[in-house]
A = this chain, B = another copy of it.
Amino acid sequence: MDLKYTEFNDDGYGLTVKVKETLVHENTPFQTVDIIETEGLGKMMLMDGLVMTSEKDEYFYHEMITHIPMISHKNPANILVIGGGDGGTVREVVKHDCVEKVTMCEIDGLAVDICKKYLPTIACELDNPKVNVVIGDGVEFIKDKKNMYDIILIDSTDPLGPGVGLFTEEFYTDVKNALKPNGIMVAQSESPIADKKEMKAMYKLLNKVFPVVKPYLGPIPTYPGGFWSWAFCSNDVKPLDYIDEKRASSISNTAKIYNIDVHKACFALPNYVKELISD
């Protein structure tokens, strides 16, 4: 059987993947979750029919969302991940020895179970004693948390379906209040190529809430447009104000992407991205 999966963006182009077989097709209370065995990218997870991650290229996303803020902080000890049910972000967070506690708040418990079973190289640290997995709605979870976290990572799906509440002014305000002084939030902020409208709307909201809002960029071969953005937000920390060189060097030793050069370079914005977020 000649099986292929294609995800089109609004401009009528997108990724096609040759598929060996479908391993999981599950309707959870929140979304559909599929795990497919691909020809060249290992196992791939889809949520509501959109690519979330694949074994072969997951590091493009997980290294970038994690190490840029973690290494921009002097001593990140208490970390919150909202979403990120596949566990890849948590796996990268616990590589930093200074981390004392990671809370992952993911709405879809069944999705976490599926990832633990089918994507063990990604979900491998979810049982780490430093990690506390909370199955619940991040929007509710964050409401009463004040001045608690050094780093908050919003590892969400797109602004539709169960992730939509993670793209609101109210949520961002709660996140801001949950940060300690010198705390940093990073949120995945869509593709500057394939999701221009969504990205523009998101930065408009972020700019209302945070004094510091800066996008950074990196390629992700299996995501729409092949190129992705993350929003670096803080009350008081600017990107590149501080780079922990010792941890940067240690993380870089085993990372597939991350090094200090990449850290400094990812904040350089092409003109079309500057324009996109300017009004």
Contacts and interface: CB of A to CB of B under 8 A. Distances in A.
A219 B222 contact: no
A38 B16 contact: no
A255 interface: yes
Contacts of A255: 271
Nearest to A257: B270
B270 A259 contact: yes
A41 B219 contact: no
Contacts of A259: 268, 270-271
A8 interface: yes
Interface in A234-272: 252, 255-259, 261-262, 264-272
A210 to B, nearest CB: 22
A268 B16 CA distance: 29
A126 to B, nearest CB: 25
Contacts of A268: 259, 261-262, 264-265
Nearest to A5: B13
A169 to B, nearest CB: 29
A30 interface: no
Contact of A12 (B18, B225, B264, B266): B18
B11 A14 contact: no
A247 to B, nearest CB: 15
A226 interface: yes
B12 A40 contact: yes
Contacts of A113: none
A61 B103 CA distance: 42
A16 B14 CA distance: 5
A154 B259 CA distance: 30
Given A193-B219, A219-B193, A8 B12 contact: no
A49 to B, nearest CB: 15
Nearest to A258: B271
